[in-house]
Structure 1
């Protein structure tokens, strides 16, 4: 019904890294922890994009919301778009196979460092509602691309 898979080999951004699928840290955790596949440093004021090499599948009427983990946020790290929204039709798109990319910005005064395998973000599957009169295809557009496809 919903879950995570590695992206296909041609769309991997870090082919030498082991893909770690997101998982919950405790029985009652709402969020699935995303790890960085590579070592990274985000300097103060800098924006760094890191592909997770993970894609998410879900049912129609669901969305995956991605947040920075609290521990990283306390050190000044945030997602550049504050909350990542992964739609169901992002999965398997032809541009990147649905590779979830985290755009990280450091608002702190010190460099933010993370090592491969460190938990840096968390994703929460949520249902969503449509407004009255919305048949779900109000724009008529069907996803044909990847990251930022509908926001050109």
Structure 2
């Protein structure tokens, strides 16, 4: 019986997706690769500078400025073509690779990603893992299929004595642990 591991989602079957592997015996994380080529634009080239200048110079921001900022400063979701299965009392933590920030100016804006056991095979997206990234460098970043973009670490977690989840099952896909199953 399988306990924990990675599988390729049906959308990427026969597309040459590599299952994550640890690089050494003492590595905690499984290196996760991009499923396809993708360009991560620099936040500095997304009209962000205009908004930054308004804020820095003390100008009043209007609703259109806020909407533009919200549209611009969204992370890019890099597809992995993977899904993950694990016991109910485990979580997969998606963490940035140290070389991403040091060499590529690539950050995970959420710090870490938390993949719950019930995300596997959810009806919305089959449980496909995506890595949220922001490019804070000045050049667009070209990620190629197969580039290692994150690492996944399996961890046990604890529950409180009076644990009583709001819902017994996942209602949706990415970012969906709230009651209505919406982001």
Q: Same fold (TM over 0.5)?
A: yes
Give the TM-score band, short-chain normalised. Answer: 0.7 to 0.9
Kindly report the root-mean-square deviation, in angstroms, between the aligned alpha carbons of the 2 structures: 1.7
Tell me the residue number matched to 2:55: none
Higher gyration radius (CA): 2
Tell me the residue number matched to 1:19: 17
How far does residue 113 in structure 1 lie from its aligned partner after superposition? Answer: 2.1
**Unaligned runs of at least 5 residues, structure 1:** none
Higher strand share: 1
Tell me the residue number matched to 2:84: 56
**Unaligned runs of at least 5 residues, structure 2:** 44-72
Given the alignment, which residue of 73, 79, 82 partners 2:101?
A: 73
Higher helix share: 2
CA contact (8 A) 1:36 1:115 kept: yes
How far does residue 108 in structure 1 lie from its aligned partner after superposition? Answer: 2.1
Aligned residues: 146
How far does residue 78 in structure 1 lie from its aligned partner after superposition? Answer: 1.4
Cα distance 1:104–1:16, how it changes in 2: closer, same or farther (>3 A)? farther
CA contact (8 A) 1:17 1:38 kept: no
CA contact (8 A) 2:6 2:19 kept: yes
- Return structure 1 stretches of 4+ with deviation > 4 angstroms: none
Q: What is the TM-score when the length of structure 1 is the normalising length? A: 0.87
